[in-house]
Amino acid sequence: MQSSSSYSTNALISLLASHLADSPDKILFRFLDDEMPITRQDFFSECEKFCAFFQEIGVQPDDRIVVQTPKSSKSLSLYIGAIMAGGIYIPLNPDFTDAEVSYYLNDSQPSVFICMSERKESLFKIAAESNVPNLYTLGIDNSGTLPQEIRTTNAIFIQEVARQDEDIAAILYTSGTTGRPKGAMIPHRALGSNAITLCAEWQYTEQDVLIHALPVFHTHGLFVATNVALVSGAEMLFMDKFDVDKTIQAMPNATALMGVPTFYTRLLQHPALATAAEKMRLFISGSAPLLAQTHEEWTQKTGHAILERYGMTEANMITSNPYFGNRKAGTVGIPLAGISVRITSEESLQEVAEGQVGSLELKGPNLFTGYWQNPEKTAAEFRADGYFISGDLACQDEDGYISIVGREKDLIISGGFNIYPKEIESILDELPDVIESAVVGVPHADFGEAVVAILIIEEKSTLKQSDVIDYVSSQLVNYKRPKHVAFLTSLPRNSMGKVQKNILREQYNSLFS
């Protein structure tokens, strides 16, 4: 196995392996069950085996390698091994249906597809129809045809493939909350710069133990959590999925947790939270908005202020509340070092005044290079001066802290007035017995669009539509008040917990027709 200094032709791999030479026997992955820990040396040896095999079967620079397997340390070995081989790594959600997998394979046209053994029959058929030449399976227990082929081939790792900063390391498909998913091309430059920035911003060191309970087919778990641990020299307490009891069990032996808001709302219900969190130093939340109420309850119960940050598939991490300083509930903090952010008017394209809502645009080394095989969409999402149009509506306060108030496509225009769903949702969330809310606009003959509020309430609640409308009427101007209130048992979400408002709009689209 080579040391990190030997990965001289691939700056990203050299960065990710920066603690390999000085501490090869340090634990990288630790598990809550009886599974043996994995050292950095063991991990990178595995990565080199995957790289050598990919090279042996003829993977060329920029070939796509699609992986749809359950979360395991080998998922991350495949990620690093694919990049070592000069390939472009494309992770897929293990829960994607056959039809969804077919779309991604047809769109990306990979040279390698690796899937779970239990779905081999249907997925191999789909892959064959998409003309994928190399098909393998991989199980969590190192079963499957891929390990067998690697043992048979016995390819020897000699050197990683040379890569430059602008070469593509991965393609991550957007969540698809609006339209068909698009493949965001993430260059080596974006992953390396973001990892370095986050380690410094969040004060990660080799003394840290990160609870890794996030999926590894998404920016948050694959790039943010994993890359920060590798670059800083931290250890990971690795969990195949988020589990409240196991996370509480892990906390006394950990220092940090990265999660989505659902993690924190569920952990708040656990009676042992306050004691378990005593030795932790950092709780980070992202991927979806964190309610100010959750932020405040967490602080009251644990003494820790959750650090909320903001990122997206196309740009990795963009802003963060400070490690040292005021972590403002309801905001996503200030731009990270080296990243420029501006908030502009959709009409004039000029920057809006402090406190006003506009379109959030950004520029920096964290940005993707464009959408896979979609130059028209790429061109449409960038300004002439290189700023990327995030699609998020935001405002900035007097201290420079940014608040995300919604998506541009979620903007409701009723009777000629612009309505931002987040404002109404914040009011609805204040109601007793309301667990969660979502606000969407649907067609209305008189107003153009009408506001519809969807609520998740406590099981024994007696809350009625009239109660909701009366309360909102006391808080907001007439045109912002819901024309209809619906009660559901749950909100539709994508794999990272974001509410899929397009589904809600479709569900209530004919309400006023």
Q: Each residue of 246-278: pLDDT tens digit? A: 999 999 999 999 998 889 989 999 999 999 999
Q: Supply the pLDDT for residue 407.
A: 79
Compute the average pLDDT of residues 57-66: 98
Kindly tell me if the per-residue pLDDT of 175 is higher than 70: no
- Of the candidates 358, 384, 406, which is a domain's last residue? 406
Instruction: Please state, in angstroms and rounded to a whole number, the distance separating the CA atoms of residues 481 and 474.
Output: 10
Domain extent, residue 455, equals 411-507
CA–chain centroid gap for 419, Å, is: 27
Q: Are residues 214 and 351 in the same domain?
A: yes
Kindly tell me if the per-residue pLDDT of 14 is higher than 70: yes
Instruction: Please state, in angstroms and rounded to a whole number, the distance separating the CA atoms of residues 178 and 507.
Output: 15
Work out the angle between the directed axes of helices 98-108 and 120-129 (0-180°, nearest 10).
30
Domain assignment present for residue 10? The answer is yes
Compute the average pLDDT of residues 434-440: 94
Beta-ladder partners of 137: 115
Q: Are residues 119 and 49 in the same domain?
A: yes
- Of the candidates 384, 406, 428, which is a domain's last residue? 406
Domain assignment present for residue 14? The answer is yes
Residues 468/485, Cβ–Cβ less than 8 Å:
yes
Query: Structurally, how many domains does the chain consist of?
Result: 3
Q: How confident is the model at residue 445 (pLDDT cuts 50, 70, 90)?
A: confident
pLDDT, the chain, mean? 93
Q: Each residue of 291-348: pLDDT tens digit? A: 888 899 999 999 999 999 999 999 999 999 999 999 999 999 999 999 999 999 988 8
Residues 449/441, Cβ–Cβ less than 8 Å:
yes
Lowest mean pLDDT among 115-124, 174-183, 381-390: 174-183
Token pair of 308, please?
A: 């909320």
Domain assignment present for residue 65? The answer is yes
Q: How confident is the model at residue 5 (pLDDT cuts 50, 70, 90)?
A: low
Q: Are residues 400 and 440 in the same domain?
A: no
Instruction: Please state, in angstroms and rounded to a whole number, the distance separating the CA atoms of residues 390 and 411.
Output: 14
Instruction: Please state, in angstroms and rounded to a whole number, the distance separating the CA atoms of residues 67 and 79.
Output: 9
Burial grade of 218 (CB within 10 A; 0-12, 13-18, 19 or more): buried
The CA-CA-CA angle for residues 358, 362, 366, to 5°, reads 150
Q: Supply the pLDDT for residue 293.
A: 87
Q: Supply the pLDDT for residue 4.
A: 56
Q: Each residue of 344-388: pLDDT tens digit? A: 998 888 999 999 999 999 999 999 999 999 999 999 999 999 999
Compute the average pLDDT of residues 92-96: 90
Q: Supply the pLDDT for residue 416.
A: 77
Q: How confident is the model at residue 155 (pLDDT cuts 50, 70, 90)?
A: very high
Instruction: Please state, in angstroms and rounded to a whole number, the distance separating the CA atoms of residues 165 and 103.
Output: 29
Compute the average pLDDT of residues 108-115: 98
Q: How confident is the model at residue 177 (pLDDT cuts 50, 70, 90)?
A: very low
Q: Which candidate, 345, 331, 342, places its Cα nearest to that of 403?
A: 331
Q: Are residues 461 and 402 in the same domain?
A: no
Domain assignment present for residue 489? The answer is yes
The residue written with tokens 């992202």 in the block is 286
Token pair of 208, please?
A: 């840290």
The CATH number of whichever domain residue 477 belongs to comes to: 3.30.300.30
Q: Are residues 416 and 401 in the same domain?
A: no
Kindly tell me if the per-residue pLDDT of 176 is higher than 80: no
Lowest mean pLDDT among 161-170, 176-185, 400-409: 176-185
Domain assignment present for residue 467? The answer is yes
Q: How confident is the model at residue 146 (pLDDT cuts 50, 70, 90)?
A: very high
Domain assignment present for residue 78? The answer is yes
Kindly tell me if the per-residue pLDDT of 69 is higher than 60: yes
